Chain A
Amino acid sequence: MPAAGGCAPTDAGPGSSVDTSQQTMANTRPVVSLQGVVRHFGRFAALRGVTAEFPAPTRATAARAGDPAPGRLYLILGENGAGKSTLLRIMAGLLKLTRGSVTMLGATDLREVAARVGYMGHAPLLYDELNAMENLRYFAGLYGIVDDARCQAAIRLVGLDPELKRGVGQYSQGMRQRISLARAIVHDPELLLLDEPFSNVDVQSAREMARLLGNMRNDGKTIFVVTHQPAVLEAVADESLLLSAGLLAARERGLPEYMKFPFSQHADHPDHMDNDNKDKGDDGACPSPVEGGER
């Protein structure tokens, strides 16, 4: 994990559009490209023409100081009904477009790259009656993974015990979301699409998941997270996309100012959430800004 590359650059102010270092990366094929994505449900237009490009992570540029980490973590924010889940489902290939185009990992037919994409839905996407390992074993099998060790590793990675025999339906919401995340990453995808991973999740689970996502981002994965709790990912988010009424209203570095955790300015306070892990020399989580709160 490159120490220098752990944070988003502080040179750009909030609300700025893409800077020059991004444009050099635009020459490589982007990881995801959305061109005028429109999706109707009957007469209702959930998405009204979303256009955005997300460049591919390149290890070569990671060594330069001030450059972002190899991977990218994008937050997709917006009010209810803005179209966030719809957009994610279209990117995952679960919904068809009404108009426009989506290119994921260079392919327009999303079934071709299904093995390199991981999706976590709003619902748990698990079988309640099976336990964690059985769920993981089945879903890993769909990707051609027959190795139990990988399933166990994925479960441990999200901080749970693979030996638990209880059906997943009996887990707490936090544990269920974590197993759902494990299912989404068991096949080591390059691209992750997560729909509200922190909903109804306890603080401890949320923080563990956020830390894991940060690590994955540093490993070079591209992660899209739809969430109503952006503050949890404040430290690891590279960009936020604000969706409003089916359109992309804003795209900014880090979190939009008004969504930041209210007391991040008090980062030195012993009760600040990032301060528990500071002593343990935690990796992945950015040191909080110490002056002004500007990033």
Chain B
Amino acid sequence: MTVMAVARRTLAKDLRLEWRAKDAVNSMLFFALLVVVIFSFSFDPTAEESRRIAGGLVWVAFLFAAVVALNQTWARELRNQVLDAYRVSPAPAVSLFLAKAVGNFILVSVLEALMTPLFIVFYNLRSVGPAYQLLVIAVLGTWALVVNGTFFAAISIRTRSREIMLPLILFPISIPALLAMVDATTSVLTGEASPRFWMQLLAVYDVVFTTVCLALFDTVINAE
């Protein structure tokens, strides 16, 4: 079977599992909602200020929700040690990574899609710049978080204190991407600057790290 075929099957299996184990997804959604509400209590800005800080708030909230989702999807492979069944098969490790990364991307995108209206409501947000750019930034930024997050989650499940390990190693490396996402979003919302450079940076970040992840995943998953 080709790499993409295995990846597709694994993705389908993962999505089916997500759908069946709805309680996990529901708890993540509730967590995301809580984050939005708590941030809203902490920062209570006027309409003008809100456009300046919303970029940062939104992305930090997405980041926390993403970490919860990332830990969850690998934890499923450890239950019943089912990852062993994948590893003994001739299926390539790269397919597993692709399937997990895309699956996480879909999951985190769903979370973002549900959190965004809440943010708009709580902060009375309205974009001054073109809104379609926000979509592009969201896609590029989410992939940046998810691609490294999937890789590092695979690393951190092999360590002691596995849940805390993921943010510890993911956040520092994601800082430039976060900076790009936040500043680009703020630029678009306030309409004060062009987010073009940030979008290019995010694209470069995505390409570079997707390549590195694909190259190193086999080594890392078979490191035992």
Residues of A within 8 A of B1 (CB): 141-144
Contact A127 B80 (CB under 8 A): yes
A84 to chain B, nearest CB (A): 16
Given contacts A142-B86, A142-B91, contact A125 B21 (CB under 8 A): no
Q: Choose among B10, B20, B87, B90 the residue with the greatest number of A CB atoms under 10 Å from its CB.
A: B90
Contact A117 B88 (CB under 8 A): yes
Residues of B within 8 A of A183 (CB): 85
Residues of B within 8 A of A115 (CB): 89-90
Residues of A within 8 A of B17 (CB): 127, 129-130
One of A69-77, A92-100, A201-209, A230-238 at the interface: A92-100
B217 to chain A, nearest CB (A): 14
Decide yes or no whether B192 CB sits under 8 A from chain A. Answer: no
Residues of A within 8 A of B81 (CB): 121-125
What is the bound-complex CA distance between A106 and B224, given in angstroms? 22
Mask for B180-224, Cβ within 8 A of A = 1, else 0? Answer: 000000000000000000000000000000000000000000101
Q: List the A residue with the shortest CB-CB distance to B93.
A: A111
The contact size tier of chain B is: 20 to 34
Given contacts A93-B87, A94-B224, A111-B90, contact A125 B13 (CB under 8 A): no
B94 to chain A, nearest CB (A): 13
A150 to chain B, nearest CB (A): 15
A15 to chain B, nearest CB (A): 34
What is the bound-complex CA distance between A121 and B87, given in angstroms? 12
Residues of B within 8 A of A96 (CB): 222, 224
Residues of B within 8 A of A127 (CB): 13, 17, 76, 80, 82
Contact A139 B87 (CB under 8 A): no
